[in-house]
């Protein structure tokens, strides 16, 4: 999500969001947040007929930041708006409840679905991240074909 969109979600001006990020830059590694290039920002603006009315970018001096799921969650801990504070509290409570639910994958999936119905769409990112963590890892591919023993490789006997 872009900084201007997240600022609207958390109820703060974009300038305040960017300032909070700059003050806490160590909390936002590259896999949490990145800045769009000039070309990416231009391409994104061209997707909208009136970019300044949709994203309020008309006259913006700096390139926007884009945040991953982890960055969105981290933002809730560095912003001071009531909405951001409530989001951070809800995230912490969700993880505490999640830890208590770790009985079986089926029970966990059912309980996460129940929690999701209780919270609004702003927390969809959190629940998507939880589902991703719950997903079973892909089983390693079995090698098909003949493999020579290690001592027979490279002419060693």
Give, for all 157 residues of the chain, the pLDDT tens digit: 999 999 998 999 999 999 999 999 999 999 999 999 999 988 888 776 554 444 554 557 889 999 998 999 899 889 989 999 998 888 888 888 777 756 667 777 787 788 877 777 777 777 777 777 777 666 666 666 666 666 655 555 5
Cβ atoms of 67 and 76 closer than 8 Å: no
Position 127 scores a pLDDT of: 76
Distance CA 27, CA 93 (A): 20
Q: At what angle do helices 124-134 and 69-78 cross, to 10 degrees?
A: 130
Residue labelled with tokens 């060693």: 156
Q: At what angle do helices 124-134 and 82-101 cross, to 10 degrees?
A: 20
Instruction: Record the pTM.
Output: 0.56
The residues spanned by each domain of the chain are 3-134
Position 151 scores a pLDDT of: 63
Position 2 scores a pLDDT of: 94
Position 28 scores a pLDDT of: 96
């Amino acid at each position: 999500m872009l900084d201007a969109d997240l600022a609207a979600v958390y109820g703060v001006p974009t300038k305040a969001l960017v300032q909070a990020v700059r003050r806490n830059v160590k909390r936002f590694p590259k896999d949490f947040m990145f800045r769009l290039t000039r070309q990416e920002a231009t391409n994104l603006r061209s997707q909208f007929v009136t970019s300044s009315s949709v994203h309020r970018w008309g006259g913006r001096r700096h390139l926007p930041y884009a945040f991953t799921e982890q960055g969105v969650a981290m933002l809730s801990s560095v912003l001071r708006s009531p909405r951001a504070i409530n989001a951070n509290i809800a995230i912490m409570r969700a993880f505490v409840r999640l830890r208590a639910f770790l009985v079986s994958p089926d029970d966990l999936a059912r309980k996460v679905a129940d929690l999701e119905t209780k919270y609004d769409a702003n927390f969809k990112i959190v629940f998507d991240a939880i589902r991703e963590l719950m997903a079973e890892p892909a089983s390693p591919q079995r090698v098909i074909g003949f493999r020579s023993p290690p001592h027979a490789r490279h002419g060693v006997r």
